[in-house]
């Protein structure tokens, strides 16, 4: 009886893993778990690889996990004779790809940043850099929707001498890009605007800021001149989600700095470990629940006799 229950558990777990892994893979005998019993990492063979690449799939931890809860893939890592490749997933179809090649462009680092994959006007930003993170190639393009192949290119640059980037601006096909850098090819922020349709008043935008190392810090969409609109996300430096919630506008001063940023609806804040720390309800920039703590009154100074 116990053996039958164990077999059913293994089959359910295997089905859960197979159903949630993009592209599929051949399962091997190595599965690691978090302390709460949730799958942390599995090893297998990538079915999409011609050379039988080893595939590691890493999962974010889920607090209060129970069997059957959805597993959240945070990274795919593959390695074969061609090199090492990782694809890191974030909320709202933001994906960051990194590859170190052993063959073509040997010892070069490929970095691709995809966003808006499930929305209008998806974007791919591609860098080819040396191990010193100096850029040799740059491409900004549009990927095929929901895939990682390029449908068209808006801008392509090739540098004979590896260089360090500072600021890039590009206007193409009713789209505007502004990318600023800390140094080399480490992005500080991306500002992307596009026309939703032929109506020139229907401008939409995506904003992404990064920690140094091309790790996302904050991102979401906005509507000029209203400001931040819809779902926004922030991340801790370790890559885990820090907060998520909706905005309904803000104001901008003459220097371009935001102020009077208005939250709306349900907001969730997470710890470095991915557990919920607190939740709030907002209404047009006013905190409804929980109420903000009342400021303590300073004690009145005692009169000297």
Taking residues 136-151, report their average pLDDT: 85
Summarize pLDDT for 200-243 with one digit per residue, the tens.
667 889 999 999 999 999 999 998 888 999 999 999 998 889 99
Summarize pLDDT for 261-291 with one digit per residue, the tens.
999 999 999 988 888 899 999 999 999 987 5
- For the chain, give the secondary structure using H, E and C: CHHHHHHHHHHHHHHHHHHHCCCCEEEEEEEEECCCCCEEEEEEEECCCCCCCEEEEEECCCCCCCCCCCCCEEEEEEEECCEEEEEEEECCCEEEEEEEECCCCCCCEEEEEEECCCCCCCEEEEEEECCCCCEEEEEEEEECCCCCCEEEEEEEEEEEEEECCCEEEEEECCEEEEEEEEECCEEEEEEEEEECCCCCCCEEEEEEEEECCCEEEEEEEEECCCEEEEEEEEECCCCCEEEEEEEECCEECCCCCEECCCEEEEEEEECCCCCEEEEEEEECCEEEECCCCCCCCCCCCCCCC
Summarize pLDDT for 157-188 with one digit per residue, the tens.
999 999 999 899 999 878 899 999 999 999 99
Q: What percent of the chain stands above pLDDT 70?
A: 81
Summarize pLDDT for 12-30 with one digit per residue, the tens.
344 444 444 444 455 555 8
Separation between Cα atoms, residue 198 and residue 64, nearest integer Å:
48
Q: Which position has the higher pLDDT, 82 or 228? A: 228
- Asked whether residue 4 carries a pLDDT value surpassing 60, the answer given is no
- pTM, two decimals, is 0.80
- Residue 159 Cα distances to 4, 169, 170, 197, 278, angstroms: 62, 17, 17, 35, 48
């Amino acid at each position: 009886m116990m053996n039958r229950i164990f077999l059913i558990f293994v089959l359910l777990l295997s089905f859960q893993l197979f159903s949630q892994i993009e592209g599929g893979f051949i399962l091997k005998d190595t599965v690691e778990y978090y302390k709460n019993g949730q799958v942390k990492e599995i090893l297998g063979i990538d079915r999409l690889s011609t050379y039988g690449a080893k595939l590691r799939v890493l999962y974010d931890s889920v607090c209060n996990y129970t069997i059957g809860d959805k597993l959240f893939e945070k990274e795919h890592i593959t390695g074969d004779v061609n090199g090492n490749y990782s694809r890191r997933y974030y909320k709202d179809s933001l994906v960051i790809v990194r590859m170190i090649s052993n063959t073509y462009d040997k010892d070069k680092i490929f970095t691709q940043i995809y966003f808006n994959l499930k929305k209008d006007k998806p974007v791919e930003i591609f860098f080819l850099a040396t191990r010193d993170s100096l850029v040799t190639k740059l491409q900004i393009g549009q990927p095929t929707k929901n895939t990682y192949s390029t449908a068209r290119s808006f801008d392509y640059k090739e540098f004979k001498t590896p260089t360090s980037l500072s600021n890039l601006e590009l206007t193409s096909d009713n789209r505007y890009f502004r990318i600023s850098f800390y140094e080399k090819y480490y992005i500080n922020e991306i500002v992307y605007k596009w026309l939703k349709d032929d109506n020139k008043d229907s401008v939409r935008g995506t904003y992404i800021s990064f920690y140094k190392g091309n790790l996302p810090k904050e991102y979401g969409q906005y509507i000029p001149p209203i400001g931040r609109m819809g779902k926004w996300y922030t991340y801790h430096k370790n890559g885990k989600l820090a907060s998520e919630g909706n905005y309904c506008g803000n104001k901008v001063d003459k220097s371009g700095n935001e102020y009077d940023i208005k939250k709306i609806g349900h907001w969730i804040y997470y710890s470095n470990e991915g557990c919920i720390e607190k939740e709030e309800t907002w209404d047009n920039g006013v905190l409804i629940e929980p109420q903000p703590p009342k400021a303590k009154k300073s004690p009145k100074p005692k009169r000297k006799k």
